[in-house]
Structures are given as structure tokens and as C-alpha cells.
Amino acid sequence: MARLVGRAGGFLKPDHYRTDPAHYARNAVYLAPDRSLSLYALVWLPGQWTPVHDHGTWGVVGVVEGVLEERAYMSVDGEIRGDRGIRLKRGGLVLLPPGAVSTFVPNPDHIHKTGVPPGRGRVVSLHLYGRMMNSFHEYDVDRGTRRLIDVPHQES
């Protein structure tokens, strides 16, 4: 991933830098035909965040531009086995500057939210996943629930 981040200017096309004023943009860079791998360029404008979510697979994130903020959550009760009665507590906060690489694995799944607070500049990050990342669990921390949602992306 560090090499990809360092060479991003050579393979990212203008379409990979698309933004959306309503929410962060997921721009597909590579989708494996067998759905075993997907690479996206995510573009974040100030004030844009993911919901609290997991991935259901391994992943690697590299920051191309700006500073991406990650806020971790942990299950109070260990492994999450259902969609209700989930008790999460806030974990650490990580700031990922340009060139930073972060990884995660499932079981226990990595639960977090990422984004850019107001007042910071645009962020462009590369996200590589061990599956077609077209869905994830979105968590409602206050209600102690999660639900599987579709996560759209823009084709490039």
C-alpha cells in the first residue's frame, strides 16, 4: 500500500477524485472479476464521515492527500454474534497523514468511523479490501444495534 500511495498520481484518473457534497465519495479503482479484491479511492470533504461500521474482511488504507481521522470502537462483550444487544465503547483516535498506512483484520471485526472534521482540507485515501466491499454493518451505538447496508460506489 505504501508503494501505491507513493505512486497514486501516476495511476489515479480524474474520475477517481470525484467528490459528493452530501457524503464522502467511493470511486472504484479496481474490482476483481471474482469479487475477491476491491480497491477504491475515497474522497472526503471537510465534515464528511462514515457511519460507525465494520468490514467483514481484511483491509489496508493508505492516505494520498490530507489527514484522515479514525475513531475506533470496541465491543464490551467480546465477539458480536447478533444484531441487537451490542455494547460498544469508544477506543482510540488515530490521525493518518499523507503516506500513512493502516491495516485491519476481521474476527474480531474492526469497528470504527472515519472522516474529516470541519476546518481540515480534502482527504484522498486508497482502500484495499479482501472482498467486493459493497456492504457493511452500520452500528447504532446508542441503541446497541447493527444492520447490513449496501454501500454504493462510482465506477471509473
The pTM for the full model equals: 0.95
CATH of 2-150, one of 3.40.50.10860, 2.40.128.20, 2.60.120.10, 1.10.3720.10: 2.60.120.10
Q: Given this model, what pLDDT does residue 107 score?
A: 72
Query: Which residues touch 41 (CB under 8 Å, ≥6 apart)?
Result: 8, 12, 16, 17, 27, 29, 64, 124, 125, 126, 127, 156
DSSP 50: P
pLDDT digits (tens, 9 = 90+) for 51-64: 999 999 999 999 99
pLDDT at residue 155 tops 80: yes
pLDDT digits (tens, 9 = 90+) for 3-16: 999 999 999 999 99
